[in-house]
Structure 1
Amino acid sequence: MRNVKVRLRPIVSKLNLPTVLKTAILPGDSMERLFIATQVGEIFYIGNGGIKTFLDIRPRIIKLGFSNGAYDERGLLGLAFHPEFYYNGLFYLHYSVAGTQGPGALPSSEVSRQGLPEFFKPNPCDPRTLNLKWINRETQYDHIDTVEEWILQSNGQPQKRRTLLNLRRPFFNHNGVNSLNFSPETGKLVLTTGDGGSGYDPFNSSQDDMEIAGKIIEIDVAKNTFINNPPVVTRFNELPAPIQETLTVMAKGVRNITGISFQRFQNQYIKYVGNVGQDLVESIFSFMQYKPIPVRKLIQASLMNSEPDQEGFINFGWRGWEGAFPTSIIRGCTENPNLDEITMAYYNEAVKTSVRRLQPLTSYYHSDPRPDKFGGTALTGVQAYSGNGIPDLMGSVVFTDFARDEGSQPPVRGALAYTRVRTDCKLNDFSVIETDYNFGSQSAFYVSLGTNLNQTRLYLGVYGSMNVTNYNQGTVFEIVP
């Protein structure tokens, strides 16, 4: 893997946290515009040398930040433009709904508080902690997420048309980010949702075929269900039949996903997916062939206590596997502080999914002593790059990490890197992309990665704080030679 150096060219600054970076051509326009969606609920676009507001749904977004301010994974999480947006004005949003704050899915006695609320850690020596059940779902939840269809009217004003899904979420985290994208293969809207949050997927939602959490779902938006306000659900079999008919499941075994990226290869597409890790490793997966399962078939199999044909169905392996490794719990050794004790968390599940799961394309570690690598914290973006402006990156897949974890003192820096698909389909290495930009004493968390329509340009979203209530600290850059 070659060492690659790039420049970061600032496009716009003093934004709130930029969660989605996409381009589209507005109806009646002749130019591709960069759209920026922020976690608090604003959508801007760059036009004629300035930044313009496309839509502001801040009143619709759940109040972000907890009692001590701090980190949050809710908010405006997904924005996707219909492939025919120029002609029909349709676009789609995924966000956490204002006024839906609940108490959470686990009583505090079962939760270890580690600065974040409701962070669960199983104890392999206590079987009661290994297979928890989410009970009283109508009252014991954290918030509600919604997926909506909007239209840009002829007067230039966006208006909501209908709600596609209302999802009750057990915890504040793992809701997905850049969670809506259209598939150029099927023309369907792809929703990438996380496992519901906390830590270690306490209810094993990602492997449960009935749970909506922990899946990659295709939504056929061309089908009208004539249900404008669907019920709030957590399981596929709770959905009305007309909505079930619009859904297919591409993949399961998801922990938390930073969207899906499609790269044209001859007359097919390589799909890239980044799965955020638990304690050990961050992983990027790639696949070309897949066989989605219609939701109605999953429900039929569940009713008959049988398993649907899963040949060609994608399984990323979580929670039994964290990337290429059996999911483990890492503790400091009491007798030797310089060593770690690593214990397998879910042995039986690792065995069960060992053959069926997809192997990652590449992984990078939370701790990596190699001088040319970095220790990461959380994958925040994965995008295919097909341009020739940065020749050494052409045909590669570029990814970002929230913050390097190298034991260094502040200010914090994110990481930018790339990898490629190997012709023998085996696990590949990755290489750090060096940047020239001087952030000075300001922290720089790399929070999002985006491309233009033909994947010849790359955009990087950076934020100066982990605290979502520290406003206007965002900058969007173009990654240039």
Structure 2
Amino acid sequence: MIKVKVSLRPIVSKINLPTVLKTTILPGDSIERLFIATQVGEIFYIGNGVIKTFLDIRPRVIKLGASSGGYDERGLLGLAFHPEFFYNGLFYLHYSIAGTQGPGALPKPFKPNPCDPRTLNLRWINRETQYDHIDTVEEWILLSNGQSQKRRTLLNLRRPFLNHNGVNSLNFSPETGKLVLTTGDGGSGYDPFNLSQDDMEIAGKIIEIDVDKNTFFYDLPVVSRFNELPAPIQETLTVIAKGVRNIPGISYQRLYNQYIKYVGNVGQDLVESIFSFVHYKPIPVTQLIQAYLMKSEPDQEGFINFGWRAWEGAFPASIISSCSVNPNLDEKTIAYYNEAVKTSVRRLQPLICYFHKEPRPDKYGGTALTGVQAYMGNGIPELTGSVVFTDLARNEESQPPVRGVLAYTKVRTDCKLNDFSVIETDYNFGTQSAYYVSLGTNLDQTRLYLGVFGSMKVTDFNQGTVYEIVREL
């Protein structure tokens, strides 16, 4: 693949950690504005070169970093504008609710032991007391006076652990017009309760929500399983995919009269993976529940399964035992062998995988996928029709400061694993760390935006900068 060089053009700086970058046209306006949602709960937009506040829900968002030394994966995670936002003012938020901090689902960090069946068959019990926090998905409306207010709650989700809640987790499907929620597997590591493969669990799934169905509940229950939801809510939901570990949203690329869907799955120990698919057969939640009650297997022909927790991208999920004498000899043990065999045929093969430990000189060792976006613009012609993605930080042995990385790939028509190429940037971050935390695009995917943060701690405030990715100057 050809080497591509780009420039980063700063748009706004000294903001908090930018989790979502996308554009829309405000009611009564005539041009697209860039909207920036920060993890702590602010939403800004850029108007006439000035940053303006669209909404501030910081009092509604859980206190971040208090129990984790500043690192946190909760907060404001999703923002999506209704396809008819210009006319109806509707938009959607996904965030972790203030005051819902719990003790967590397990008393200590989890690691499976293939010699101890108890670690392979854990169950999440006492869910009403043993959880970390509650996430909510809400519908809001922008009023004619410029103020916004909440209209209704779509889901209240009990989450077992602090991490893997998804990011850029709300997007509208241009195919179905439905709101797409991408949820992580619930957190910890290695998916201790195998929530991602359980058809009743909301965790570890890609879910479509029909927001045109008017479901108003004044006291919507907090749930973690589909069968705990009220029937009218169940009827608004279909499941596109399962086997998700953690996911930086979903991107749609128009190809003639259909769309290629791109999904990144954050890795455990070995690789980061990007999947692509065109055809799929979603399953209504009501059908999943009916099959569960009848103790039967739902028809999963055409249903997307990314393979986690048994598969990490193209590889069986492994436990790595370090070899201090020679890291190249680290022992890798298949963690969930039986599950890997069971799901081997049903799972979707990834488009690409890239390694955490990468021996090839023209590649990089990855840490965590933080964004995947199709690019259809001509401003950077070498990237037209490509899939651009970001990784939080290069996993290299070199000394700080930390640098994130941009890369790209293209779809193969033979469905085999593809290669990728690093996108080089000419920007000088100086001595400051530069974690690449988010990737966004405009409505017609002709512009790309990059969110960078100077720290791994969400409690280190005002260290964020948003750039536009442009052709090398």
Matches within 5 A, 1:368-379: 368-379=358-369
Matches within 5 A, 1:163-312: 163-312=153-302
Q: Whole-Å Cα distance in 1 between the matches of residues 114 and 460 of structure 2?
A: 38
2:412 to 410, 422, 431: 422
Does the aligned pair in 2 maintain the 1:333–1:341 contact within 8 Å? Answer: yes
Q: Whole-Å Cα distance in 1 between the matches of residues 14 and 326 of structure 2?
A: 46
Which residue number corresponds to residue 56 of structure 1? Answer: 56
- Counterpart residue type for residue 8 of structure 2: L
- Counterpart residue type for residue 121 of structure 2: N
Which residue number corresponds to residue 457 of structure 1? Answer: 447
Matches within 5 A, 1:315-334: 315-333=305-323
Does the aligned pair in 1 maintain the 2:153–2:216 contact within 8 Å? Answer: no
Cα deviation for residue 337 of structure 1 reads 5.6
Cα deviation for residue 104 of structure 1 reads 0.2
Matches within 5 A, 1:372-387: 372-387=362-377
Q: Whole-Å Cα distance in 1 between the matches of residues 274 and 431 of structure 2?
A: 31
Does the aligned pair in 2 maintain the 1:403–1:412 contact within 8 Å? Answer: yes
Q: Whole-Å Cα distance in 2 between the matches of residues 416 and 439 of structure 1?
A: 15
Which residue number corresponds to residue 135 of structure 2? Answer: 145
Aligned residues: CA RMSD: 0.9
Structure 2 unaligned regions, length at least 5? none
- Answering whether residue 119 of structure 2 is matched by residue 124 of structure 1, we say no
Q: Percent identity?
A: 86
Q: Which runs of 4+ in 1 moved over 3 A?
A: 334-338
Cα deviation for residue 226 of structure 1 reads 2.7
Cα deviation for residue 68 of structure 1 reads 5.7
Which residue number corresponds to residue 99 of structure 1? Answer: 99
Q: Whole-Å Cα distance in 2 between the matches of residues 193 and 248 of structure 1?
A: 14
- Counterpart residue type for residue 202 of structure 1: P
Q: Whole-Å Cα distance in 1 between the matches of residues 458 and 216 of structure 2?
A: 37
Q: Structure 1 residues 336, 475: closer, same or farther in 2, change over 3 A?
A: closer
Partner SS, residue 233 of structure 2: helix
TM-score, normalisation: structure 2: 0.99
Does the aligned pair in 2 maintain the 1:69–1:468 contact within 8 Å? Answer: no
- Counterpart residue type for residue 31 of structure 1: I
How big is each residue's C-alpha offset from its partner over 1:255-314, in whole Å with a ceiling of 9 and x where there is no partner? 001000000000000000000000000000000000000000000000011011100000
Matches within 5 A, 1:428-439: 428-439=418-429
Q: Whole-Å Cα distance in 1 between the matches of residues 84 and 41 of structure 2?
A: 24
Cα deviation for residue 334 of structure 1 reads 6.0
Partner SS, residue 205 of structure 1: coil
Q: Whole-Å Cα distance in 2 between the matches of residues 68 and 39 of structure 1?
A: 15
Does the aligned pair in 1 maintain the 2:152–2:216 contact within 8 Å? Answer: no
Does the aligned pair in 2 maintain the 1:317–1:323 contact within 8 Å? Answer: yes
Does the aligned pair in 2 maintain the 1:195–1:206 contact within 8 Å? Answer: yes
Structure 1 unaligned regions, length at least 5? 112-119
TM-score, normalisation: structure 1: 0.97
Aligned residue pairs, count: 471
Does the aligned pair in 2 maintain the 1:162–1:229 contact within 8 Å? Answer: no
Which residue number corresponds to residue 114 of structure 1? Answer: none
Q: Structure 1 residues 337, 47: closer, same or farther in 2, change over 3 A?
A: closer
Cα deviation for residue 124 of structure 1 reads 1.2
Partner SS, residue 151 of structure 2: strand
Cα deviation for residue 66 of structure 1 reads 3.3
- Answering whether residue 26 of structure 2 is matched by residue 26 of structure 1, we say yes
How big is each residue's C-alpha offset from its partner over 1:190-245, in whole Å with a ceiling of 9 and x where there is no partner? 00000000000000000000000000000000001232431000000000000000
Q: Structure 1 residues 429, 306: closer, same or farther in 2, change over 3 A?
A: same
